Structure 1
Protein backbone atom coordinates (compact mmCIF):
# COMPACT_ATOMS: atom_id res chain seq x y z
CA UNK A 1 0.00 0.00 0.00
CA UNK A 2 1.39 3.39 -0.96
CA UNK A 3 1.61 6.10 1.61
CA UNK A 4 -1.36 8.47 1.66
CA UNK A 5 0.66 11.47 0.51
CA UNK A 6 2.29 9.57 -2.33
CA UNK A 7 -1.06 8.28 -3.62
CA UNK A 8 -2.98 11.54 -3.48
CA UNK A 9 -0.02 13.57 -4.72
CA UNK A 10 0.72 11.36 -7.68
CA UNK A 11 -2.93 10.83 -8.56
CA UNK A 12 -2.97 14.54 -9.32
CA UNK A 13 0.57 14.72 -10.65
CA UNK A 14 -0.58 12.19 -13.20
CA UNK A 15 -2.53 14.78 -15.11
CA UNK A 16 0.68 16.18 -16.58
CA UNK A 17 1.07 13.74 -19.45
CA UNK A 18 1.54 13.36 -23.17
CA UNK A 19 1.72 10.55 -25.69
CA UNK A 20 5.46 10.42 -25.17
CA UNK A 21 6.97 7.66 -23.07
CA UNK A 22 9.84 9.78 -21.73
CA UNK A 23 9.54 10.25 -17.97
CA UNK A 24 9.90 13.71 -16.43
CA UNK A 25 10.66 12.37 -12.97
CA UNK A 26 13.10 9.61 -12.17
CA UNK A 27 11.30 8.10 -9.18
CA UNK A 28 11.35 4.27 -9.16
CA UNK A 29 8.16 4.16 -7.09
CA UNK A 30 6.52 6.42 -9.64
CA UNK A 31 7.43 4.04 -12.44
CA UNK A 32 6.29 1.01 -10.45
CA UNK A 33 2.76 2.23 -9.89
CA UNK A 34 2.24 4.75 -12.67
CA UNK A 35 3.03 3.72 -16.21
CA UNK A 36 0.60 4.99 -18.81
CA UNK A 37 0.83 8.37 -20.58
CA UNK A 38 -2.18 10.33 -21.85
CA UNK A 39 -2.53 13.90 -23.10
CA UNK A 40 -3.52 16.60 -20.64
CA UNK A 41 -4.99 18.96 -23.22
CA UNK A 42 -8.57 17.75 -22.66
CA UNK A 43 -8.36 19.41 -19.24
CA UNK A 44 -8.31 22.87 -20.77
CA UNK A 45 -11.07 24.96 -19.20
CA UNK A 46 -9.92 28.52 -19.69
CA UNK A 47 -8.08 30.52 -22.33
CA UNK A 48 -5.38 31.57 -19.84
CA UNK A 49 -4.52 28.77 -17.44
CA UNK A 50 -6.09 25.35 -17.92
CA UNK A 51 -7.79 24.03 -14.80
CA UNK A 52 -5.24 21.24 -14.31
CA UNK A 53 -2.39 23.75 -14.42
CA UNK A 54 -3.99 25.99 -11.81
CA UNK A 55 -4.78 22.96 -9.69
CA UNK A 56 -1.15 21.84 -9.58
CA UNK A 57 0.15 25.32 -8.98
CA UNK A 58 -2.32 26.11 -6.19
CA UNK A 59 -2.26 22.77 -4.38
CA UNK A 60 1.20 21.32 -4.94
CA UNK A 61 3.48 24.32 -5.31
CA UNK A 62 4.42 23.78 -8.95
CA UNK A 63 5.62 26.86 -10.74
CA UNK A 64 3.31 28.15 -13.43
CA UNK A 65 6.14 28.06 -15.95
CA UNK A 66 7.09 24.40 -15.39
CA UNK A 67 3.47 23.28 -15.32
CA UNK A 68 2.65 25.10 -18.54
CA UNK A 69 5.66 23.50 -20.19
CA UNK A 70 4.33 20.11 -19.22
CA UNK A 71 0.89 21.06 -20.43
CA UNK A 72 2.36 22.09 -23.79
CA UNK A 73 3.90 18.61 -24.16
CA UNK A 74 7.44 19.79 -23.52
CA UNK A 75 7.89 17.94 -20.26
CA UNK A 76 6.29 14.62 -19.39
CA UNK A 77 6.19 11.66 -17.07
CA UNK A 78 4.16 8.49 -16.97
CA UNK A 79 1.11 7.76 -14.81
CA UNK A 80 -1.33 4.96 -13.96
CA UNK A 81 -3.79 4.42 -16.81
CA UNK A 82 -6.93 4.02 -14.75
CA UNK A 83 -6.17 7.01 -12.55
CA UNK A 84 -5.24 9.35 -15.36
CA UNK A 85 -8.15 8.39 -17.59
CA UNK A 86 -10.49 8.96 -14.68
CA UNK A 87 -8.98 12.33 -13.86
CA UNK A 88 -9.10 13.44 -17.48
CA UNK A 89 -12.54 12.12 -18.25
CA UNK A 90 -14.11 13.40 -15.06
CA UNK A 91 -12.10 16.54 -14.38
CA UNK A 92 -15.32 18.20 -13.21
CA UNK A 93 -15.00 16.20 -10.01
CA UNK A 94 -12.07 18.43 -9.13
CA UNK A 95 -14.16 21.49 -9.89
CA UNK A 96 -17.13 20.38 -7.80
CA UNK A 97 -15.21 19.24 -4.73
CA UNK A 98 -12.39 21.03 -2.88
CA UNK A 99 -8.98 19.38 -3.01
CA UNK A 100 -8.86 18.72 0.73
CA UNK A 101 -12.27 17.01 0.53
CA UNK A 102 -11.09 14.68 -2.24
CA UNK A 103 -7.82 14.00 -0.45
CA UNK A 104 -9.67 13.19 2.79
CA UNK A 105 -11.84 10.58 1.03
CA UNK A 106 -8.86 9.03 -0.72
CA UNK A 107 -7.06 8.82 2.62
CA UNK A 108 -10.20 7.36 4.19
CA UNK A 109 -10.08 4.55 1.63
CA UNK A 110 -6.42 4.01 2.42
CA UNK A 111 -7.33 3.74 6.12
CA UNK A 112 -9.82 1.01 5.17
CA UNK A 113 -7.01 -0.83 3.35
CA UNK A 114 -8.58 -0.29 -0.09
CA UNK A 115 -5.90 -1.14 -2.65
CA UNK A 116 -4.32 1.54 -4.81
CA UNK A 117 -5.49 -0.19 -7.98
CA UNK A 118 -9.08 -0.15 -6.69
CA UNK A 119 -8.84 3.54 -5.81
CA UNK A 120 -7.49 4.24 -9.30
CA UNK A 121 -10.33 2.23 -10.89
CA UNK A 122 -12.93 4.11 -8.85
CA UNK A 123 -11.42 7.42 -9.95
CA UNK A 124 -11.99 6.24 -13.51
CA UNK A 125 -15.44 4.69 -13.23
CA UNK A 126 -17.13 6.52 -10.35
CA UNK A 127 -15.16 9.63 -9.33
CA UNK A 128 -18.24 11.08 -7.62
CA UNK A 129 -17.56 8.61 -4.80
CA UNK A 130 -14.67 10.82 -3.73
CA UNK A 131 -17.08 13.72 -3.29
CA UNK A 132 -19.41 11.69 -1.08
CA UNK A 133 -20.19 13.08 2.36
CA UNK A 134 -21.14 9.67 3.76
CA UNK A 135 -18.35 7.59 2.26
CA UNK A 136 -17.39 6.11 5.62
CA UNK A 137 -20.90 4.66 6.01
CA UNK A 138 -20.68 2.95 2.62
CA UNK A 139 -17.20 1.64 3.37
CA UNK A 140 -18.35 0.17 6.67
CA UNK A 141 -21.48 -1.31 5.09
CA UNK A 142 -19.54 -3.04 2.32
CA UNK A 143 -16.99 -4.34 4.81
CA UNK A 144 -19.78 -5.68 7.03
CA UNK A 145 -21.15 -7.60 4.05
CA UNK A 146 -17.97 -9.64 4.12
CA UNK A 147 -15.91 -8.00 1.38
CA UNK A 148 -12.13 -7.85 1.71
CA UNK A 149 -11.08 -4.23 1.19
CA UNK A 150 -7.87 -5.30 -0.57
CA UNK A 151 -9.76 -7.02 -3.41
CA UNK A 152 -11.19 -5.55 -6.61
CA UNK A 153 -14.67 -6.84 -5.72
CA UNK A 154 -14.68 -4.46 -2.77
CA UNK A 155 -14.45 -1.54 -5.18
CA UNK A 156 -17.29 -2.89 -7.32
CA UNK A 157 -19.46 -3.42 -4.24
CA UNK A 158 -18.69 0.09 -3.02
CA UNK A 159 -19.51 1.56 -6.42
CA UNK A 160 -22.79 -0.37 -6.49
CA UNK A 161 -23.78 0.80 -3.03
CA UNK A 162 -22.85 4.40 -3.75
CA UNK A 163 -24.84 4.65 -6.98
CA UNK A 164 -28.02 3.13 -5.57
CA UNK A 165 -30.46 4.38 -2.94
CA UNK A 166 -31.58 2.03 -0.18
CA UNK A 167 -35.10 2.16 -1.61
CA UNK A 168 -33.91 0.93 -5.02
CA UNK A 169 -31.71 -1.70 -3.40
CA UNK A 170 -34.67 -3.05 -1.40
CA UNK A 171 -36.86 -3.08 -4.53
CA UNK A 172 -34.32 -5.21 -6.37
CA UNK A 173 -34.03 -7.60 -3.43
CA UNK A 174 -37.84 -7.92 -3.45
CA UNK A 175 -37.79 -8.76 -7.17
CA UNK A 176 -35.29 -11.56 -6.61
CA UNK A 177 -37.38 -12.84 -3.71
CA UNK A 178 -40.48 -12.78 -5.91
CA UNK A 179 -38.73 -15.29 -8.18
CA UNK A 180 -37.80 -17.57 -5.28
CA UNK A 181 -34.46 -16.30 -4.00
CA UNK A 182 -34.05 -15.71 -0.28
CA UNK A 183 -32.40 -12.70 1.37
CA UNK A 184 -29.42 -14.95 2.07
CA UNK A 185 -29.25 -15.93 -1.61
CA UNK A 186 -29.13 -12.30 -2.70
CA UNK A 187 -26.35 -11.39 -0.25
CA UNK A 188 -24.35 -14.53 -1.05
CA UNK A 189 -24.53 -13.93 -4.81
CA UNK A 190 -23.78 -10.23 -4.35
CA UNK A 191 -20.61 -11.15 -2.47
CA UNK A 192 -19.60 -13.36 -5.38
CA UNK A 193 -20.56 -10.86 -8.10
CA UNK A 194 -21.28 -7.31 -6.81
CA UNK A 195 -22.36 -6.15 -10.27
CA UNK A 196 -25.48 -8.30 -9.80
CA UNK A 197 -27.31 -5.38 -8.21
CA UNK A 198 -26.44 -3.06 -11.09
CA UNK A 199 -28.94 -4.92 -13.28
CA UNK A 200 -32.19 -3.02 -13.71
CA UNK A 201 -35.43 -4.32 -12.26
CA UNK A 202 -36.75 -4.83 -15.80
CA UNK A 203 -33.67 -6.87 -16.76
CA UNK A 204 -33.95 -9.04 -13.65
CA UNK A 205 -37.62 -9.74 -14.42
CA UNK A 206 -36.94 -10.49 -18.09
CA UNK A 207 -34.14 -12.96 -17.37
CA UNK A 208 -36.04 -14.65 -14.55
CA UNK A 209 -39.26 -14.85 -16.55
CA UNK A 210 -37.50 -16.39 -19.54
CA UNK A 211 -35.51 -18.82 -17.40
CA UNK A 212 -38.40 -19.97 -15.22
CA UNK A 213 -41.52 -19.51 -17.35
CA UNK A 214 -40.21 -20.10 -20.88
CA UNK A 215 -37.53 -22.68 -20.19
CA UNK A 216 -38.97 -24.21 -17.02
CA UNK A 217 -35.51 -24.32 -15.44
CA UNK A 218 -34.56 -24.04 -11.76
CA UNK A 219 -34.46 -20.41 -10.60
CA UNK A 220 -31.73 -21.27 -8.08
CA UNK A 221 -29.39 -22.27 -10.92
CA UNK A 222 -28.97 -18.57 -11.62
CA UNK A 223 -27.42 -18.07 -8.18
CA UNK A 224 -24.42 -19.98 -9.57
CA UNK A 225 -24.02 -17.57 -12.48
CA UNK A 226 -24.98 -14.00 -11.53
CA UNK A 227 -23.23 -12.81 -14.69
CA UNK A 228 -26.35 -14.00 -16.51
CA UNK A 229 -28.11 -10.78 -15.53
CA UNK A 230 -25.47 -8.83 -17.40
CA UNK A 231 -25.65 -10.87 -20.61
CA UNK A 232 -27.77 -9.83 -23.57
CA UNK A 233 -31.07 -11.70 -23.40
CA UNK A 234 -31.61 -11.77 -27.16
CA UNK A 235 -28.03 -12.14 -28.39
CA UNK A 236 -26.68 -14.58 -25.86
CA UNK A 237 -29.21 -16.17 -23.53
CA UNK A 238 -32.04 -17.02 -25.95
CA UNK A 239 -29.88 -18.40 -28.81
CA UNK A 240 -27.86 -20.60 -26.46
CA UNK A 241 -30.91 -21.70 -24.49
CA UNK A 242 -32.55 -22.82 -27.74
CA UNK A 243 -29.58 -25.06 -28.51
CA UNK A 244 -29.47 -26.46 -24.97
CA UNK A 245 -33.21 -27.14 -24.94
CA UNK A 246 -32.88 -29.16 -28.13
CA UNK A 247 -29.98 -31.16 -26.69
CA UNK A 248 -31.94 -31.93 -23.52
CA UNK A 249 -35.01 -32.87 -25.54
CA UNK A 250 -33.00 -35.31 -27.67
CA UNK A 251 -31.18 -36.73 -24.67
CA UNK A 252 -27.87 -35.46 -26.01
CA UNK A 253 -27.05 -33.58 -22.82
CA UNK A 254 -27.02 -35.18 -19.40
CA UNK A 255 -29.81 -34.08 -17.10
CA UNK A 256 -27.37 -33.25 -14.32
CA UNK A 257 -25.14 -31.16 -16.61
CA UNK A 258 -24.70 -27.53 -15.61
CA UNK A 259 -27.42 -25.27 -16.95
CA UNK A 260 -25.39 -22.10 -16.66
CA UNK A 261 -21.85 -23.01 -17.76
CA UNK A 262 -22.58 -22.91 -21.54
CA UNK A 263 -23.71 -19.30 -21.20
CA UNK A 264 -20.30 -18.30 -19.85
CA UNK A 265 -18.36 -19.78 -22.77
CA UNK A 266 -16.94 -17.66 -25.55
CA UNK A 267 -18.97 -18.02 -28.75
CA UNK A 268 -16.35 -20.26 -30.38
CA UNK A 269 -16.16 -22.53 -27.34
CA UNK A 270 -19.95 -22.71 -27.11
CA UNK A 271 -20.27 -23.69 -30.79
CA UNK A 272 -17.52 -26.29 -30.49
CA UNK A 273 -18.93 -27.87 -27.33
CA UNK A 274 -22.67 -27.57 -27.92
CA UNK A 275 -23.06 -27.53 -31.70
CA UNK A 276 -20.18 -28.99 -33.74
CA UNK A 277 -19.45 -31.82 -31.30
CA UNK A 278 -22.83 -33.37 -32.25
CA UNK A 279 -22.02 -34.27 -35.84
CA UNK A 280 -25.41 -35.65 -36.85
CA UNK A 281 -27.27 -32.70 -35.38
CA UNK A 282 -24.70 -29.95 -35.97
CA UNK A 283 -26.28 -28.57 -39.14
CA UNK A 284 -29.67 -28.17 -37.50
CA UNK A 285 -28.17 -26.80 -34.28
CA UNK A 286 -26.11 -24.23 -36.16
CA UNK A 287 -29.16 -23.18 -38.18
CA UNK A 288 -31.20 -22.88 -35.00
CA UNK A 289 -28.51 -20.82 -33.30
CA UNK A 290 -27.99 -18.51 -36.28
CA UNK A 291 -31.74 -17.97 -36.72
CA UNK A 292 -32.04 -16.91 -33.10
CA UNK A 293 -29.11 -14.56 -33.49
CA UNK A 294 -30.63 -13.09 -36.65
CA UNK A 295 -33.96 -12.68 -34.87
CA UNK A 296 -32.16 -10.98 -31.98
CA UNK A 297 -30.67 -8.40 -34.36
CA UNK A 298 -34.08 -7.82 -35.93
CA UNK A 299 -35.78 -7.33 -32.58
CA UNK A 300 -33.00 -5.00 -31.46
CA UNK A 301 -33.44 -2.87 -34.57
CA UNK A 302 -37.20 -2.52 -34.16
CA UNK A 303 -37.23 -2.46 -30.37
CA UNK A 304 -39.21 -5.65 -29.78
CA UNK A 305 -38.78 -7.17 -26.28
CA UNK A 306 -40.03 -10.71 -27.08
CA UNK A 307 -38.47 -13.55 -25.08
CA UNK A 308 -40.11 -16.52 -26.79
CA UNK A 309 -37.90 -19.55 -27.31
CA UNK A 310 -39.41 -21.84 -29.93
CA UNK A 311 -37.75 -25.02 -31.18
CA UNK A 312 -39.06 -26.42 -34.44
Structure 2
Protein backbone atom coordinates (compact mmCIF):
# COMPACT_ATOMS: atom_id res chain seq x y z
CA UNK A 1 0.00 0.00 0.00
CA UNK A 2 1.25 3.47 -0.82
CA UNK A 3 2.10 5.88 1.97
CA UNK A 4 -0.25 8.87 1.89
CA UNK A 5 0.91 12.16 3.36
CA UNK A 6 -2.11 14.34 4.02
CA UNK A 7 -1.96 17.68 2.29
CA UNK A 8 -3.52 21.04 2.95
CA UNK A 9 -7.11 21.32 4.09
CA UNK A 10 -9.85 20.89 1.51
CA UNK A 11 -11.47 24.01 0.20
CA UNK A 12 -12.70 25.92 -2.78
CA UNK A 13 -9.44 26.77 -4.51
CA UNK A 14 -11.31 27.74 -7.67
CA UNK A 15 -13.01 30.56 -5.82
CA UNK A 16 -9.71 31.89 -4.58
CA UNK A 17 -8.19 31.72 -8.05
CA UNK A 18 -11.09 33.72 -9.41
CA UNK A 19 -10.24 36.52 -7.01
CA UNK A 20 -7.12 37.09 -9.11
CA UNK A 21 -4.20 36.61 -6.76
CA UNK A 22 -0.85 37.35 -8.35
CA UNK A 23 1.64 34.71 -9.48
CA UNK A 24 3.92 35.74 -6.65
CA UNK A 25 1.22 34.97 -4.11
CA UNK A 26 0.13 31.54 -5.30
CA UNK A 27 2.89 30.05 -7.49
CA UNK A 28 6.61 29.45 -7.10
CA UNK A 29 9.37 31.42 -8.82
CA UNK A 30 12.95 30.45 -9.49
CA UNK A 31 14.30 32.09 -6.33
CA UNK A 32 11.81 30.27 -4.09
CA UNK A 33 12.45 26.94 -5.80
CA UNK A 34 16.19 27.22 -5.26
CA UNK A 35 15.58 28.23 -1.64
CA UNK A 36 13.37 25.17 -1.09
CA UNK A 37 16.04 22.94 -2.61
CA UNK A 38 18.65 24.50 -0.36
CA UNK A 39 16.40 23.93 2.67
CA UNK A 40 16.48 20.21 1.86
CA UNK A 41 20.15 20.26 0.84
CA UNK A 42 18.78 18.85 -2.42
CA UNK A 43 20.78 18.41 -5.59
CA UNK A 44 18.52 17.37 -8.50
CA UNK A 45 19.38 13.86 -9.65
CA UNK A 46 19.38 12.30 -13.12
CA UNK A 47 18.36 8.99 -11.52
CA UNK A 48 14.87 10.33 -10.85
CA UNK A 49 14.80 12.75 -13.77
CA UNK A 50 14.56 15.82 -11.55
CA UNK A 51 14.29 19.05 -13.53
CA UNK A 52 12.11 21.61 -11.75
CA UNK A 53 9.94 24.15 -13.59
CA UNK A 54 10.82 27.67 -12.46
CA UNK A 55 8.56 29.77 -14.69
CA UNK A 56 5.05 30.60 -13.45
CA UNK A 57 3.83 31.63 -16.90
CA UNK A 58 4.71 28.20 -18.28
CA UNK A 59 2.91 26.55 -15.37
CA UNK A 60 -0.26 28.49 -16.09
CA UNK A 61 0.02 27.72 -19.79
CA UNK A 62 0.21 23.99 -19.03
CA UNK A 63 -2.77 24.19 -16.68
CA UNK A 64 -4.85 26.11 -19.24
CA UNK A 65 -4.02 23.56 -21.92
CA UNK A 66 -4.84 20.68 -19.58
CA UNK A 67 -8.31 22.11 -18.93
CA UNK A 68 -8.72 20.34 -15.58
CA UNK A 69 -10.33 23.06 -13.46
CA UNK A 70 -12.24 21.40 -10.64
CA UNK A 71 -11.24 17.86 -11.69
CA UNK A 72 -9.52 15.08 -9.75
CA UNK A 73 -5.95 14.96 -11.06
CA UNK A 74 -2.95 12.72 -10.50
CA UNK A 75 0.45 14.38 -10.85
CA UNK A 76 3.59 12.24 -11.04
CA UNK A 77 6.86 13.72 -9.85
CA UNK A 78 5.61 16.99 -8.34
CA UNK A 79 9.09 17.82 -7.10
CA UNK A 80 9.08 21.15 -5.27
CA UNK A 81 5.51 21.97 -6.25
CA UNK A 82 5.59 24.33 -9.25
CA UNK A 83 2.95 22.53 -11.32
CA UNK A 84 1.10 21.29 -8.24
CA UNK A 85 0.33 24.86 -7.23
CA UNK A 86 -0.82 25.69 -10.75
CA UNK A 87 -3.28 22.80 -10.62
CA UNK A 88 -4.64 23.53 -7.16
CA UNK A 89 -4.94 27.21 -8.07
CA UNK A 90 -7.71 26.37 -10.58
CA UNK A 91 -9.55 24.14 -8.12
CA UNK A 92 -8.22 20.74 -9.15
CA UNK A 93 -7.99 18.13 -6.40
CA UNK A 94 -4.48 16.73 -6.76
CA UNK A 95 -2.94 13.40 -5.81
CA UNK A 96 0.79 14.08 -6.13
CA UNK A 97 2.88 10.91 -6.45
CA UNK A 98 6.46 11.52 -5.33
CA UNK A 99 9.21 8.91 -4.98
CA UNK A 100 11.63 11.17 -3.06
CA UNK A 101 10.80 11.10 0.66
CA UNK A 102 12.20 14.57 1.31
CA UNK A 103 10.13 16.14 -1.46
CA UNK A 104 7.02 14.21 -0.41
CA UNK A 105 7.30 15.61 3.13
CA UNK A 106 8.02 19.18 2.04
CA UNK A 107 5.29 19.53 -0.60
CA UNK A 108 2.24 19.72 1.72
CA UNK A 109 3.92 22.45 3.76
CA UNK A 110 4.80 24.46 0.65
CA UNK A 111 1.29 24.22 -0.77
CA UNK A 112 -0.34 25.06 2.58
CA UNK A 113 1.82 28.18 2.84
CA UNK A 114 1.11 29.39 -0.71
CA UNK A 115 -2.51 28.24 -1.02
CA UNK A 116 -4.03 27.42 2.39
CA UNK A 117 -7.30 26.16 0.89
CA UNK A 118 -5.77 23.91 -1.77
CA UNK A 119 -6.93 20.31 -2.10
CA UNK A 120 -3.88 18.07 -2.08
CA UNK A 121 -2.88 14.53 -1.15
CA UNK A 122 0.79 13.60 -1.44
CA UNK A 123 1.52 9.91 -2.04
CA UNK A 124 5.07 8.79 -1.34
CA UNK A 125 5.45 5.95 -3.82
CA UNK A 126 7.10 4.83 -7.05
CA UNK A 127 4.59 5.63 -9.81
CA UNK A 128 5.68 2.52 -11.73
CA UNK A 129 4.24 0.27 -9.01
CA UNK A 130 1.36 2.48 -7.87
CA UNK A 131 -1.82 0.49 -7.26
CA UNK A 132 -4.10 2.92 -5.43
CA UNK A 133 -4.76 6.61 -4.92
CA UNK A 134 -6.83 8.59 -2.39
CA UNK A 135 -9.47 9.12 -5.09
CA UNK A 136 -10.26 7.99 -8.65
CA UNK A 137 -8.37 10.38 -10.95
CA UNK A 138 -10.05 11.92 -13.98
CA UNK A 139 -6.84 13.30 -15.46
CA UNK A 140 -3.05 13.03 -15.46
CA UNK A 141 -1.06 16.27 -15.62
CA UNK A 142 2.66 16.08 -14.96
CA UNK A 143 6.21 17.02 -15.79
CA UNK A 144 7.22 13.39 -16.17
CA UNK A 145 10.72 12.16 -15.37
CA UNK A 146 12.35 11.67 -18.75
CA UNK A 147 13.74 8.23 -18.00
CA UNK A 148 10.41 6.53 -17.15
CA UNK A 149 7.76 8.62 -18.89
CA UNK A 150 6.30 5.97 -21.23
CA UNK A 151 6.18 3.11 -18.65
CA UNK A 152 4.56 5.46 -16.12
CA UNK A 153 1.88 6.58 -18.56
CA UNK A 154 1.01 3.04 -19.62
CA UNK A 155 0.90 1.84 -16.00
CA UNK A 156 -1.44 4.65 -14.93
CA UNK A 157 -3.77 4.10 -17.88
CA UNK A 158 -3.83 0.36 -17.23
CA UNK A 159 -4.48 0.75 -13.53
CA UNK A 160 -6.91 3.70 -13.35
CA UNK A 161 -9.81 3.33 -15.77
CA UNK A 162 -11.33 6.64 -14.69
CA UNK A 163 -8.59 8.68 -16.43
CA UNK A 164 -10.19 10.60 -19.29
CA UNK A 165 -7.55 13.23 -20.02
CA UNK A 166 -3.74 13.30 -20.07
CA UNK A 167 -1.40 16.22 -20.59
CA UNK A 168 2.25 15.62 -19.81
CA UNK A 169 5.53 17.38 -20.40
CA UNK A 170 8.11 14.91 -21.72
CA UNK A 171 11.33 14.79 -23.66
CA UNK A 172 10.60 15.93 -27.23
CA UNK A 173 11.73 12.63 -28.72
CA UNK A 174 9.33 10.73 -26.46
CA UNK A 175 6.45 13.12 -27.12
CA UNK A 176 6.84 12.79 -30.89
CA UNK A 177 6.91 9.02 -30.51
CA UNK A 178 3.70 8.97 -28.45
CA UNK A 179 1.86 11.10 -31.01
CA UNK A 180 3.31 9.36 -34.09
CA UNK A 181 1.11 7.84 -36.77
CA UNK A 182 1.71 4.56 -38.67
CA UNK A 183 4.31 4.83 -41.38
CA UNK A 184 6.28 7.65 -39.77
CA UNK A 185 9.89 7.30 -38.68
CA UNK A 186 8.99 7.85 -35.03
CA UNK A 187 6.10 5.36 -34.95
CA UNK A 188 6.78 2.40 -32.71
CA UNK A 189 5.57 0.25 -29.85
CA UNK A 190 4.74 3.19 -27.51
CA UNK A 191 2.74 4.90 -30.30
CA UNK A 192 0.62 1.83 -30.94
CA UNK A 193 0.11 0.98 -27.27
CA UNK A 194 -1.01 4.37 -25.98
CA UNK A 195 -3.46 4.64 -28.89
CA UNK A 196 -5.47 1.93 -27.12
CA UNK A 197 -6.91 4.60 -24.85
CA UNK A 198 -7.43 7.36 -27.40
CA UNK A 199 -5.78 9.59 -30.02
CA UNK A 200 -2.65 11.44 -28.89
CA UNK A 201 -1.36 14.77 -30.17
CA UNK A 202 1.42 17.26 -29.59
CA UNK A 203 0.09 20.29 -27.71
CA UNK A 204 3.05 22.64 -27.51
CA UNK A 205 6.81 23.09 -27.24
CA UNK A 206 8.55 23.90 -23.96
CA UNK A 207 11.76 25.91 -23.66
CA UNK A 208 14.70 24.34 -21.85
CA UNK A 209 15.19 27.62 -20.01
CA UNK A 210 12.10 27.19 -17.82
CA UNK A 211 13.77 24.30 -15.97
CA UNK A 212 16.28 24.15 -13.15
CA UNK A 213 18.71 22.65 -13.78
CA UNK A 214 18.48 23.30 -17.53
CA UNK A 215 18.22 19.89 -19.28
CA UNK A 216 20.26 19.00 -22.35
CA UNK A 217 17.15 17.90 -24.26
CA UNK A 218 14.07 19.69 -25.58
CA UNK A 219 10.59 19.10 -24.14
CA UNK A 220 7.05 19.09 -25.50
CA UNK A 221 3.52 18.85 -24.19
CA UNK A 222 1.67 15.77 -25.41
CA UNK A 223 -1.76 14.53 -24.46
CA UNK A 224 -4.98 12.75 -25.28
CA UNK A 225 -8.66 12.55 -24.46
CA UNK A 226 -10.09 9.09 -24.00
CA UNK A 227 -11.72 7.58 -27.07
CA UNK A 228 -14.24 4.74 -27.47
CA UNK A 229 -13.35 1.43 -25.84
CA UNK A 230 -11.18 -0.79 -28.03
CA UNK A 231 -12.13 -4.01 -26.23
CA UNK A 232 -11.64 -6.09 -23.10
CA UNK A 233 -8.60 -6.15 -20.85
CA UNK A 234 -7.70 -9.63 -22.09
CA UNK A 235 -7.81 -8.39 -25.69
CA UNK A 236 -5.58 -5.45 -24.74
CA UNK A 237 -2.98 -7.79 -23.25
CA UNK A 238 -3.03 -10.02 -26.34
CA UNK A 239 -2.80 -6.99 -28.62
CA UNK A 240 0.15 -5.58 -26.68
CA UNK A 241 1.92 -8.93 -27.03
CA UNK A 242 1.50 -8.67 -30.81
CA UNK A 243 2.82 -5.09 -30.75
CA UNK A 244 5.86 -6.16 -28.71
CA UNK A 245 6.56 -8.98 -31.15
CA UNK A 246 6.18 -6.77 -34.22
CA UNK A 247 8.50 -4.05 -32.95
CA UNK A 248 10.94 -6.35 -31.13
CA UNK A 249 12.48 -6.99 -34.54
CA UNK A 250 11.09 -4.01 -36.40
CA UNK A 251 13.20 -4.42 -39.55
CA UNK A 252 11.82 -7.92 -40.15
CA UNK A 253 8.61 -8.75 -41.96
CA UNK A 254 5.69 -9.55 -39.69
CA UNK A 255 5.71 -13.24 -40.55
CA UNK A 256 9.25 -13.42 -39.17
CA UNK A 257 8.88 -10.91 -36.34
CA UNK A 258 5.83 -12.76 -34.97
CA UNK A 259 7.22 -16.27 -35.47
CA UNK A 260 8.37 -16.39 -31.86
CA UNK A 261 4.91 -15.44 -30.62
CA UNK A 262 3.05 -18.00 -32.73
CA UNK A 263 5.64 -20.80 -32.91
CA UNK A 264 6.85 -20.51 -36.47
CA UNK A 265 6.89 -18.26 -39.52
CA UNK A 266 4.24 -20.46 -41.15
CA UNK A 267 1.94 -20.19 -38.12
CA UNK A 268 2.43 -16.43 -38.00
CA UNK A 269 1.62 -16.19 -41.72
CA UNK A 270 -1.60 -18.13 -41.17
CA UNK A 271 -2.68 -15.79 -38.36
CA UNK A 272 -1.81 -12.68 -40.38
CA UNK A 273 -3.68 -13.85 -43.45
CA UNK A 274 -6.67 -14.70 -41.30
CA UNK A 275 -6.55 -11.14 -39.93
CA UNK A 276 -6.35 -9.68 -43.43
CA UNK A 277 -2.83 -8.33 -42.87
CA UNK A 278 -0.07 -8.75 -45.44
CA UNK A 279 2.61 -11.00 -43.84
CA UNK A 280 5.36 -9.13 -45.72
CA UNK A 281 4.59 -5.82 -44.04
CA UNK A 282 6.58 -4.51 -41.08
CA UNK A 283 5.13 -3.40 -37.76
CA UNK A 284 5.61 0.30 -38.50
CA UNK A 285 3.00 0.05 -41.29
CA UNK A 286 0.22 -1.21 -39.00
CA UNK A 287 -2.33 0.81 -37.06
CA UNK A 288 -3.73 -0.23 -33.70
CA UNK A 289 -6.88 -1.76 -35.33
CA UNK A 290 -4.53 -3.93 -37.44
CA UNK A 291 -2.79 -5.22 -34.32
CA UNK A 292 -6.15 -5.86 -32.68
CA UNK A 293 -7.32 -7.93 -35.68
CA UNK A 294 -4.15 -10.03 -35.47
CA UNK A 295 -4.72 -10.69 -31.77
CA UNK A 296 -8.35 -11.61 -32.41
CA UNK A 297 -7.40 -13.90 -35.30
CA UNK A 298 -4.83 -15.69 -33.16
CA UNK A 299 -7.36 -16.13 -30.38
CA UNK A 300 -9.97 -17.50 -32.80
CA UNK A 301 -7.44 -19.94 -34.23
CA UNK A 302 -6.61 -21.20 -30.73
CA UNK A 303 -10.26 -21.89 -29.91
CA UNK A 304 -10.69 -23.88 -33.13
CA UNK A 305 -7.76 -26.21 -32.41
CA UNK A 306 -8.88 -29.77 -31.52
- Relative to the length of structure 1, the TM-score reads 0.28
- Structure ranking higher in helix proportion: 1
Return the index of the structure with the highest Cα Rg: 1
Which TM-score applies when normalising by structure 2? 0.29
Give the structure, 1 or 2, with the largest relative contact order (CA under 8 Å, sep 6 or more).
2
More strand by share: 2
